[in-house]
Amino acid sequence: MTISARTVDARQIKNTLARWFISAGGVSVLFTLVLIFMYLVYVVKPVFESATIEPVASIPVTITSKALAVGVDEQKQVAFHITDDGNINFYQAQTNEHHQANELLLTQTLLADGEVIKEVFATNINQYIILLTNGSVRVIQPTFKVSFVVDERTVTPTIFYPLGEDAIYLDEDEAVIEQFSFAMNEERAVFVALTKDQRLIKTSLIAEDDFNFDSEFSAEYQTIATDYSAISHLAITPDLLMAVIVKENDVSIFDLGDEWDVALYAEFNPLYNTSTNITSMALLSGSSSILFGTSDGKVLQWFEVAGENSRKYQQIRSFNASDTESITKIYPETFRKSFYAVTPNGDVGVYYTTSEAMLWQGKLLASDQQLFAIAPRANGLVISSDRLEVLDVENEHPEVTWSAIWQEVWYEGYPEPAYIWQSTSGSDDFESKFSLMPISFGTLKAALYAMLFAVPIAISAAIYTAYFMPAAMRKTVKPTIELMEALPTVILGFLAGLWLAPLLEAYLPAVFLLIILLPVTTCLTAFAWFNTPKAIKLMLPESFAPLILLPFLILAGYLSFELSPLLEDVFFGGDMRQYITNDLGINFDQRNALVVGIAMGFAVIPTIFSMTEDAIFSVPKHLTSGSLALGATQWQTLVKVVLLTASPGIFSAVMMGLGRAVGETMIVLMATGNTPVIDWSIFQGMRTLSANIAVEMPESEVGSSHYRILFLAAFVLFVFTFIFNTLAEFVRQRLREKYSSL
């Protein structure tokens, strides 16, 4: 091979490499856009997935006696059960460095000599109350110490007795207990029980210090009712304020808040027709909602609603959990508003109340008698058969469904269903409310007011610049207006928030005066010019109209502001703001839609102006010449020929402007109060999707529902603008083809 051939070869290789490299670079643009799209989808997707339940461990249990309660630790490493001979046994669920799977970690008896278990009651905060046949109880709380040995987590079980190791008689007279319910916090433990001699009693144990550290307490006994029988369901709210009792389909709610007197607070019957029965009852997390399972397979959610003048229990929603069977067991989750509904033959449905979501359905149990418990973090289940089955539950975002985001939702404590965005609050048992409606509404409202302001000015300016203005003038005017596009929006926002908002508040009538005065001044100036002698007209041709108008419009603006206090005095009793709030009853925010409309209008004027101007300017000259030759006036030609031809271009300009207004962040962030309300009023603020992201994103926990919803908000914005931009670009390409064929 000769040297020159090799050089040619090398050049060819270089050429090919360059081709590949540049093609890759070109395609990377598309790749970037697709990557953004896919990544947003990837983050958002998990919130709309329904739950999955999968077995992870099955522990053979050696003890033959019957299990009365089951449970599992937070890490799902250790499962345990309490048997009717009074033992609690802990088993390792998964193999790790220190323990084999199925290994019996600890076994301990929970009974003293001679005691016999009658029943074990499990609360959903991992407490187990062992009721003995003699009417006394012992409360136990399995606790798990987590330690790290060489980066491996080990869980060691122990038993904690929050109320002491001695059994406590529930009744002052040590009567035998038929039925009871229990709830406690660190200061107080409350039992409501039905004794064998048909007394309904309440027993409070008041801690001397704190039950977490010291089990010393003093007891208080009260009788709520005598001759009470046939209770079918009984529960105490975790805040220890209410006891709910179901008796022959009638629900009674007792107020436990008063130390001396347990009063009947409310009574109702939650059933519609008399042929059905209440077959189960449970309290939803958060102490407000009561769930009733019925014999016709429904689960009803009730809570107290503030009415006109009183509070009243009301059915909020119902879930069709089974078509054929009754709902005999309901297991609520500890921290979330989810519950598991069980039918007699073991079908289980998983629901989330607020979002009305059915998350999972299937046969999980052999029958409703099978013991079943939800793991403390609601990410697992444990079921007792002849083995201990541990299952994984993948159910991260039950509160988010498409309908909960876009439709009205009836939240606990609200008088009616509503669109609410409220992602965080100070209190712990707060339920996040993720309705994208108010902020999407805010986005559209802000964009609409901005367009109302920008479109007339931008399009009229573009018409004049493209069609009437002499070329020399156009050369300076166009870049000047386009310069506005380069202004950082943070500066527009800052001026809107700190300069314009107070100014408009002080000179509110001036704004409305300006809307009238500016066009009127323009017309008057025009007419005056029309009537001036020819000599002057020659010196100042009509093509200088914008310059002629300049002093007059500035004067009109000055006059409006000067007259503003006078107008306020004459028409609005000295203060227009007061007048709007007091006489018209309209809320007035200082940073309102008017301010946003003007500020964001400024931001989109150059976009619309520039594209409209291009569209009008590039209308082929022979069209206009033809029209003018046929005797049409300039204006007629403009309206009938030029604007008509350019109308797709103007449309796409408006679309682009709208896209920009929808996505604008800093202006709305700084020029509105950022309150997520749905209200068209021009004097009220709003919160937009983009501002919402900017405000809340830095504080949201990675991977949480909140984080993903904010990504969804970004995705919605992306889709909004994608539609506007693609439509605009499509129309523009069509127009370009049309022009070239003309």
Partner 1 sequence: MNNLNKWFKSGSPWVWLSAGGVTLSLISVVGLLLLIASNGLSYFWPSQLHQFEMVDVDGKHSTVIGEIYDVETIPAEQVIHTGIDVKGAEFVERYLIKTGNRELVNLDFRWIVAPLIQQQTQPQDLVVIERRTNGNFYGFIEQVFMDGKAVELSKLDNFMARVDNLQDEIFELQKTDIGAINYELERIRLKTRKAEINGELTPELIASFDAQTQQLKDEYLALETNLNKLREEVQRDKIIVRAMGGEKIEINLEQVIHVSFNNKLNIIEKTTMFFSQIGNFIFAEPREANTEGGVFPAIFGTVLMVLLMTVIVAPMGVVAAIYLHEYAGNNAFTKLLRIAVINLAGVPSIVYGVFGLGFFVYMVGGSLDQIFYPESLPSPTFGSPGVLWSALTLAILTLPVVIVSTEEGLARIPASMRHGSLALGATKAETLWRIILPIASPAIMTGIILAIARAAGEVAPLMLVGVVKMAPTLPLDGNFPFLHLERKFMHLGFHIYDVGFQSPNVEAARPLVYATALLLVTIIVALNMTAVSIRNRLREKYRSLEH
Quick one: 359 or 662, whose CB is closer to partner 1? 662
Q: Does 693 bind partner 1 (CB under 8 A)?
A: yes
Quick one: 214 or 569, whose CB is closer to partner 1? 569
Burial of 232-250, coded b for 16+ CB within 10 Å and e otherwise, reads: bbbbbbbebbbbbbbbebe
Quick one: 25 or 585, whose CB is closer to partner 1? 25
Quick one: 263 or 639, whose CB is closer to partner 1? 639
Q: Is 610 left (phi over 0), alpha (psi -120 to 50) or beta?
A: alpha
539: enclosing H helix or E strand: helix 534-539
Radius of gyration of the chain (CA): 37
Helix (H, G, I), strand (E, B) or coil at 427: coil
Stretch that binds partner 1, among 229-237, 341-349, 350-358, 450-458 (CB under 8 A): 450-458
DSSP state of 533: -
Q: Does 558 bind partner 1 (CB under 8 A)?
A: no
Residues 40-79 that bind partner 1 (CB under 8 A): 40, 43
Q: Does 590 bind partner 1 (CB under 8 A)?
A: no
Q: Does 522 bind partner 1 (CB under 8 A)?
A: yes
Q: Does 21 bind partner 1 (CB under 8 A)?
A: yes
Stretch that binds partner 1, among 198-206, 362-370, 387-395, 458-466 (CB under 8 A): 458-466
Minimum CB–partner distance for residue 536 and partner 1 (Å):
16
Residues 6+ apart with CB under 8 A from 583: none
Distance CA 237, CA 186 (A): 15
Q: Does 698 bind partner 1 (CB under 8 A)?
A: yes
* Contact with partner 1 (CB under 8 A) among 137, 305, 656, 709: 656
* Contact with partner 1 (CB under 8 A) among 111, 358, 420, 477: 477
Q: Does 465 bind partner 1 (CB under 8 A)?
A: yes
Residue in 57, 55, 59, 54 with CA at minimum distance from that of residue 387: 59
Quick one: 104 or 477, whose CB is closer to partner 1? 477
Quick one: 17 or 63, whose CB is closer to partner 1? 17
Minimum CB–partner distance for residue 570 and partner 1 (Å):
12
Quick one: 80 or 602, whose CB is closer to partner 1? 602
Q: Does 553 bind partner 1 (CB under 8 A)?
A: yes
Quick one: 234 or 608, whose CB is closer to partner 1? 608
DSSP state of 602: H
Residues 379-438 that bind partner 1 (CB under 8 A): none
* Contact with partner 1 (CB under 8 A) among 164, 546, 620, 673: 546
Size of the site for partner 1 (CB under 8 A): 114
Residues 605-624 that bind partner 1 (CB under 8 A): 605, 609
Q: Taking the alpha carbons of 725, 729, 730, 732 in that order, is the dihedral positive or negative?
A: positive
104-to-57, 78, 90, 107, 387 alpha-carbon distances in Å: 14, 10, 6, 7, 13
Site mask, partner 1, residues 705-724, x = CB under 8 A?
-----xx--x--xx--xx-x
Tokens of 7: 């050089």
Quick one: 619 or 710, whose CB is closer to partner 1? 710
Minimum CB–partner distance for residue 546 and partner 1 (Å):
4
Q: Does 567 bind partner 1 (CB under 8 A)?
A: no
Residues 6+ apart with CB under 8 A from 432: 399, 422, 423, 424, 705, 706
Q: Does 561 bind partner 1 (CB under 8 A)?
A: no
Q: Does 451 bind partner 1 (CB under 8 A)?
A: no
DSSP 545-596: HHHHHHHHHHHHHHHHHHHHHHHHHHHSTT-HHHIIIIIS-----SS-HHHH
Minimum CB–partner distance for residue 417 and partner 1 (Å):
30
* Contact with partner 1 (CB under 8 A) among 6, 7, 27, 582: 27
Query: One-letter amino acid identity for 457?
Result: I
Minimum CB–partner distance for residue 616 and partner 1 (Å):
11
* Contact with partner 1 (CB under 8 A) among 274, 275, 309, 531: 531
Burial of 634-648, coded b for 16+ CB within 10 Å and e otherwise, reads: eeebbeebbbebbeb
Ramachandran angles phi, psi of 670, nearest 5°: -95, -25
Query: One-letter amino acid identity for 461?
Result: A
DSSP 663-724: H--HHHHHHS---------TTS----HHHHHHHHGGGSPTTSHHHHHHHHHHHHHHHHHHHH
Q: Does 153 bind partner 1 (CB under 8 A)?
A: no
Q: Vertex 172, ends 167 and 174: CA angle to 5°?
A: 60
Q: Does 452 bind partner 1 (CB under 8 A)?
A: no
With tokens 């033992």, the residue in question is 87
Q: Does 666 bind partner 1 (CB under 8 A)?
A: yes
